[in-house]
Amino acid sequence: MNVELLLEGALYGAILLGFLFIPVLFLVLILGLAKYDMFWTVVAEGRAKAIMVNDKFEKFVMAYHGKKFKGKKEGDDWIDQWDIVGVDSDENADGYMQKLPLIGGLRWVGIWPFARVYKYHFTWTSLEQQSGKDDQTEETKLVANTTEVFEKSDILLQEDIYAVLVTDVETSEMLPVTALLQIPAKVTNPYKALFRVQHWLEQSENLIADKARAFMGGLPFANLIQRLKPNDSGGTEKFEKITNIELDNVLETINTEYGVEIPHIGIRKIDPASDEALKFKEASGALYVADQKAKADKREGEGKRDRVTEYYTAVSKIPGGKEMFLAEAIRDSKLRVITTSGSGVLPTVLTEDVSEGEKSA
């Protein structure tokens, strides 16, 4: 056996394995650095990160399938280039990054430590369904979520539902109530959301709460409760949508100034804040049930009237049909004596046999 040939083959094999593993080892090194946002970073789907160079904004990096940044357009404001728009079928949002294998959400930050990922504080309140006391029913509770500054480096671009509790609301009768609102919000321009306003969600909630308080304050308590009527499937409450116009166009202002799209506001729940308001709520509920019953009775009465009208029209076309109709009406009535009009004579017709009653008398 030629030892030199064997060593030479082993050397070539090691070199070949080295060439195969070097890209993998390089990628592992990059991922290790990206974990600490050094040189590289990993962006989760549906999110974006702001890149700062010496604390000055440089760019955004994003991972959002089917979406891209608008880019610079002639005549547009510089900030508008960070509007998020859809991608055409023949267009690649991430360019070469999507063409390389195993890249995914890996994005280039810049030369560390000059280029860094922007980190900020973000607090929100969400709605969670939790089991009731009997473990059968479910009740909605407010749950506050706080992300510390060193953990929050990305901004959510997908729509999410946030909750805000509006207190000290006085209806038109001066009754204090508390309203639970749900806000479906989606960031459409992350630059406006992060750098045009401090804490975009908090500012949006404050503006919405003020407008919602004014809107609900102009309505009677019974009106607010009835708008939260049970749905057709029964039992559960559905939220009532408050539109942008009803909120004095504040939602349009938030979209323009903060880069956050909110299609409407939902009133999820209204609770009385006093004994008087509680009594009004109970009375309003009873009034709603009574109104629904009245509407049902009205529909039933109209149906009977239409049925009788159609039947009478049909039998009137038959010879002797009117007399037959009158005879059936007399038969089905509970009257004992019917007096009908005639030619100067008022004939009286007995509708039941009263002879047995007279005999017993």
The pTM is what? 0.65
d(CA 119, CA 51): 10
| pLDDT score recorded for residue 280 | 55
97: helix, strand or coil: helix
- In 3-state terms, the chain is what percent helix, strand and coil (to 5)? 40, 25, 35
Residue 30 and residue 168 share a domain:
no
Range of the domain at 197: 122-152+159-287
Does the pLDDT value for residue 164 go beyond 80? yes
Residue 341 and residue 208 share a domain:
no
- Total number of domains constituting the chain: 3
Does the pLDDT value for residue 259 go beyond 90? yes
Residue 98 and residue 131 share a domain:
no
Residue 245 and residue 135 share a domain:
yes
Burial letters 160-193, b for 16+ CB under 10 A, else e: eebbbebeebebeeebebebbbbbebbbbbbbbb
Does the pLDDT value for residue 27 go beyond 90? no
Residue 326 and residue 268 share a domain:
no
Task: Report the mean per-residue pLDDT for the chain.
Answer: 74
Q: Which residue do the tokens 């459409």 mark?
A: 188
Residue 148 and residue 181 share a domain:
yes
Asked if 279 and 286 touch (Cβ cutoff 8 Å), the reply is: no
pLDDT digits (tens, 9 = 90+) for 67-124: 999 988 777 788 999 999 998 755 555 544 445 555 778 899 999 999 999 999 888 8
User: In the numeric block, which tokens belong to residue 19?
Assistant: 């060439």
Residue 219 and residue 87 share a domain:
no
Sequence length of the chain is 361
Residue 218 and residue 257 share a domain:
yes
| pLDDT score recorded for residue 358 | 47
| pLDDT score recorded for residue 106 | 87
Residue 83 and residue 130 share a domain:
no
Residue 127 and residue 249 share a domain:
yes
Query: Which of 242, 266, 287 delimits the end of a domain?
Result: 287
| CATH for 229 | 3.30.479.30
Q: Is 294 a domain residue?
A: no
Q: Is 314 a domain residue?
A: no
Q: Is 63 a domain residue?
A: yes
